[in-house]
Amino acid sequence: MMELLAPAGGLETLKTAVLYGADAVYMGGTAYGLRAKARNFDRGEMQEAVAFAHAHGVKVHVTVNIIAHDRNLEGLEEYLKLLEQIHVDALIMADAGMIMTARQTVPDMEIHLSTQASATNYATFNFWHKMGVSRVVCARELSLDEIAEIRRKTDPSLEIEAFAHGAMCISISGRCLLSNYLAGRDSNQGLCAHPCRWQYRLVEETRPGEYFPITEGEEGTYIFNSKDLCMIEHLPQMEEAGINSIKIEGRMKSPLYVAMVTRVYREALDDLAQSRSLYESKKEYYKHLLGLVSHRSYTTGFYLGRPGPDEQVYDSADYIRHVDFAGVVRDTHKEEDKDSFHAGMCLIEQRGKFVKGDTLYLLGQRGGLIPFTAARILNTEGCEVESAPHAQEKLYLTMPEQARQDMVFVKEL
């Protein structure tokens, strides 16, 4: 069975990914990663994260995948030694000099070649394997047929990882200068301003100030704006191509997104392992759940052949979503705790407004959405309240028994 690798932008999303079925998680520290605006992990949080993941049998990969300038190399050896000391399982790297430093400094640590390195052929895969890399993350421009050919011409001990779900960069393997040029923020240093998602107009040199639309859609022109990747219907083909690990993009995403997408892919992989017919029979169910969370229209990217503009370009700035993130379960209180005002209720941290009597849905760690009614809401002083309007407010809520294990719940829009 393929490994399921889920994103962790912070400690909360890491724990969510672990509890909702990830085999491994990837995260960034406070330096050297390509998501500088994610919450990321300081040393204490990283130690806690690794301990939590390992206690649940889940591996931790850390991104050290910037394209480095000389100034970035200062302190790198100390950082790598720290990651080794807290028992990180693998480093995700792209820069040849940084990989060489890692091989010399922490020779026993696994190194995974980032998609940023743009590995698109078997010779490149073999080269990096000889340099001590144990896994290559495919360039996003590869088709499944090309990956299968690479698998046939590489050592079986070299693992292949590939993205299966999430936001796609319009540039080759994410290596882009557009953000640096337009916003002064280097995407290859983790500071991408996402100018590919902006609207553009054409201006002719001798007619300054006269802007002409580049016609594409009713709402505007988004010539660089890619749809989101979704390979939930093609997991058997990914496995047959020789892919060892499928990766979910999303270190900037919410715990709801991470929980839902991880849960769906976990269930699909388990169903596929049980029988191909079971997996095939549930495709519409998987697609329905993935369609609930915030996303752009879905595409299969380059996997099934070179996509045309209609297959890849998303002609809007808007996201599609059908549920709102309502809250997270923080603690449970059993019915037998008769002396407490919150006996039988769950302590929740509210994320989106809901009111007494609303129908909410608990996202099961081992199933789909479980409906329940917000029949009773108490504040932390034990007083009845009619609504939960304040973000991250702590409240007590009546919830189904499954909330003893699950944590994320949502409200339909």
Classify strands 245-248 and 159-166 as parallel, antiparallel or unpaired.
parallel
- pLDDT value at residue 29: 86
In degrees, rounded to 5, the angle at the alpha carbon of residue 13 between the alpha carbons of residues 36 and 189 is: 15
- Helical ranges in 241-341 per DSSP H: 255-274, 276-281, 283-290, 309-312
Cα–Cα distance, 220 to 229 (Å, whole number): 22
pLDDT digit string (tens) for 315-357?
676 788 999 999 999 888 655 555 577 777 899 999 999 999 9
CA separation (Å) from 127 to 113, 124, 131, 132?
Answer: 11, 5, 6, 9
What is the tens place of the pLDDT at every residue in 383-397?
999 999 988 899 999
Q: Which two tokens stand for residue 6?
A: 């889920």
Please state the φ and ψ torsions of residue 258, each to the nearest 5 degrees: -60, -40
pLDDT digits (tens, 9 = 90+) for 204-235: 778 787 776 565 555 555 667 788 999 999 99
Q: State yes or no: pLDDT of 307 exceeds 80.
A: no
Q: What are the start-end ranges of the H helices in 275-397?
A: 276-281, 283-290, 309-312
Average pLDDT, the chain: 88
Chain segment 155-164, per-residue pLDDT in tens: 999 999 999 9
Q: In the prediction, which pLDDT does 247 show?
A: 98
